[in-house]
Amino acid sequence: MKRYIVLFCGLLCCAVAAKAQFDPQIGQYMFTQTAYNPAVAGEGDLMRAFGSHRIQFTGITDAPMTTYVSFTSPFVIGKTRHGAGVRFINDRFGLFSNQSFHVQYAYRHRIGKGYLSVGADLGFMNLSFNVDSINLDNIAAVEDNAYHNPNDEAIPIATGGSEKGVSGMGFDMGLGVYYSAPAWWIGASYGHVTQPTLHWSDRTEIHVRGTMYVAGGYNWRLRNRAWMLLPSAMLQTDFVGWDLNLTMLAQVQERYRFGLGYRIAGSVNIILGVDIINGLQLGYTYELPANGLIRESYGSHELYLAYGFNILKPKRTNKYKSVRYL
């Protein structure tokens, strides 16, 4: 129980004002770009349903678990192309739970051999903390029927008749730009533009920092036309801390994928994927800590399932499909 107190106090900084990076880790970021860049909505002219689940640091009690679900679709108004979608994230870590829901829109304009897209998403995020799971009987004297010592400002007071915990909700917004050509892609986005403040109580509030993402990749067809190399990278920063993901995938016969990834923050990824049938894609990532956590954890597992189909049916000008699309 003491580890919960340490974790909570570290996050809240003694209940004055805490700032935290809220976005969960994403292993196969090249396939889940709508999670951090709204400009990707409708990309590839595909109507796409996507779901993933990540279990992080297996072997550690109350380790993070993340579920991500999205649905996106392209559409045409006159001669202009657009994309729209919705996304939902449920992220649990210890006594904390973070849910967010967003609607997305992207405008797409053809430039050269590819499309330039600009997009935005609007929604809300809700962060809750299970106060009822904290027991301070062995740490400080508590009053009858109270969750904690009223003089301890590091732990919020459950209000509104809640017997489980406290929560705070805030309006959220993100912006993004994305360019995709047959052989390469690049995008940049800025999440939490509004930098919402989530109020747990009169003396406890959480300030959400804006987060920037820059990602890009290249599709390199080898002499053996059945093989393709897919290097990619993603930089994530809230301008206090940062992380860099480097990935190299191989794709065989436009159906099977395997490769390795490395996160500067300290992990190595083994990535597998397969197109089961036309439009149905399955992927798996095993992430092994490359730091001190390797002695405590059996690694992280991430599984995703996606289905997409072309509803605009444009004429194909290239002879291969991008790994980013189904």
Q: Nearest CA to 207 among 142, 125, 278?
A: 125
For residue 149, the model assigns a pLDDT of: 56
Kindly report whether the global pTM for this prediction surpasses the value 0.75.
yes
- Domain membership flag for residue 322: no
Q: State which residues form the domain around 303.
A: 2-310
pLDDT in tens, 262-295: 999 888 999 999 999 888 999 999 998 877 666 6
Q: Nearest CA to 91 among 53, 123, 117, 43?
A: 53
- Judged against a pLDDT cut of 80, whether residue 255 lies above it is answered with yes
- Domain membership flag for residue 172: yes
Report the CATH number at residue 167.
2.40.160.40
Q: How confident is the model at residue 325 (pLDDT cuts 50, 70, 90)?
A: very low
- Domain membership flag for residue 64: yes
- Domain membership flag for residue 324: no
Q: Nearest CA to 153 among 140, 170, 167, 169?
A: 140
pLDDT in tens, 151-185: 566 666 655 544 567 888 999 999 999 999 999 99
- Domain membership flag for residue 326: no
- Domain membership flag for residue 316: no
Q: DSSP of 131-158, one letter per residue?
A: GGG---TTTS---TT-SS-TT-TTSPPP
For residue 314, the model assigns a pLDDT of: 55
Query: Which residues neighbour 98 within 8 Å (Cβ) at sequence distance 6 or greater?
Result: 22, 24, 89, 90, 91, 92, 125, 126, 127, 128
The chain-wide mean pLDDT, for the chain, equals: 82
- Judged against a pLDDT cut of 60, whether residue 146 lies above it is answered with no
Dihedral of CA 215/221/225/226: which sign? negative
- Domain membership flag for residue 283: yes
Q: How confident is the model at residue 324 (pLDDT cuts 50, 70, 90)?
A: low
Identify whether the C-beta of residue 257 lies closer than 8 Å to the C-beta of residue 321. no
- Domain membership flag for residue 319: no
How far is the C-alpha of 286 from the C-alpha of 305, rounded, in Å? 15
Total structural domains within the chain: 1
For residue 73, the model assigns a pLDDT of: 95
- Judged against a pLDDT cut of 60, whether residue 246 lies above it is answered with yes
Residue of higher predicted confidence among 242 and 141: 242
Mean pLDDT of 8-25: 47
For residue 326, the model assigns a pLDDT of: 43
How far is the C-alpha of 58 from the C-alpha of 12, rounded, in Å? 25
For residue 6, the model assigns a pLDDT of: 37
For residue 4, the model assigns a pLDDT of: 40
For residue 161, the model assigns a pLDDT of: 47
Is residue 319 packed enough to be buried (19+ CB in 10 Å), middle (13-18) or exposed (0-12)? exposed
What are the tokens at 75?
Answer: 């559409």
